[in-house]
Structure 1
Amino acid sequence: MEGLQKTFRTFYEDAKNGSSSSSFNKPSGVDALSTDSSRVLITRPPRQVVSLWTCSKLCAIFFVAGVVVGFTLKRRVKRWASKVLRRLKDD
C-alpha cells in the first residue's frame, strides 16, 4: 500500500510540475521518497483497510445474490409476458 501511495504521489508531482516523464525514468528517486503528507492523494487510517479475504467473501455473496435475483426476475418476466400475450390473443 505504501508503494502505491508513493507512485500516486510521484505521478501527482509530475503532473503538477508539468513534466511528461514518469518517475520510473528518473535516475534519482528523491521525489518518490518525499515525506510531505500534504501531497498524498489517498489518506486513510490503516483500520479502514479491507482484507483480501473479506473482499472475496463479499464478492461471492453478492454474486450468488445476483444470480438468485436474476433467475427470479427472469421467471417473473416470463410469467408477466405470457399473461400479456394471452390477453392480446383473447382480444
Structure 2
Amino acid sequence: MEGLQKAYRSISQDSRLGLPSSSSSYSSASSLSADQSGVLVTRPPRRAVSLQTCSKLCAVCFVAGVVVGFILKRRVRRWASKVLKRIKDD
C-alpha cells in the first residue's frame, strides 16, 4: 500500500509540473521524502472499517449468495422441466 501511495504522489507531482506521466517511475517515487503530504484519501478515523466488520460483511454476503444460488437453481430446473414437457407434448 505504501508503494502505491508513493507512486500516486509521483504521478500527481508530475501532473502539477506538466511533465509527461511516462517520466514517473517507481525509482523516482521511492526517492520522495516522507514529509510530503500526498495522501490518497483523507478520512477521519471513525469512518474506517475494521477488519472484523469487513469479514462479517463478507460472510453475510457469501451466505446470501449461496441461498440465492440454490433458489435460482431450483427455479431454473422447474422452468426447464416445464419447457421440456411443452416441447414433448407438441
Question: TM-score, normalising length from structure 1?
Answer: 0.69
SS in 2 for 1:42: coil
Task: Tell me the percent identity.
Answer: 59
Which structure 2 residues correspond to residues 27-66 of structure 1 after superposition, within 5 A?
A: 28-30=31-33, 32-35=34-37, 40-66=39-65
Q: Deviations over 1:10-68 (max 9, x none)?
A: 332134432613363368533x5223xxx644222221111111111111110111011
Q: Is the 8 A contact 1:14 1:21 kept in 2?
A: yes
Please give the alpha-carbon distance, in whole angstroms, between the structure 2 residues aligned to 1:81 and 1:27: 59
Which structure 2 residues correspond to residues 9-20 of structure 1 after superposition, within 5 A?
A: 9-17=9-17, 18=19, 20=23
Q: Is the 8 A contact 2:14 2:24 kept in 1?
A: yes
**Would the alpha carbon gap of residues 76 and 87 (structure 1) be closer, same or farther in structure 2, given more than 3 Å must change?**
same
SS in 2 for 1:43: coil
**Would the alpha carbon gap of residues 12 and 83 (structure 1) be closer, same or farther in structure 2, given more than 3 Å must change?**
same
RMSD value, Cα: 2.8
Please give the alpha-carbon distance, in whole angstroms, between the structure 1 residues aligned to 2:49 and 2:32: 30
Please give the alpha-carbon distance, in whole angstroms, between the structure 2 residues aligned to 1:53 and 1:11: 33
Please give the alpha-carbon distance, in whole angstroms, between the structure 2 residues aligned to 1:51 and 1:4: 22
Please give the alpha-carbon distance, in whole angstroms, between the structure 1 residues aligned to 2:13 and 2:68: 46
Count of residue pairs brought into register by the alignment: 86
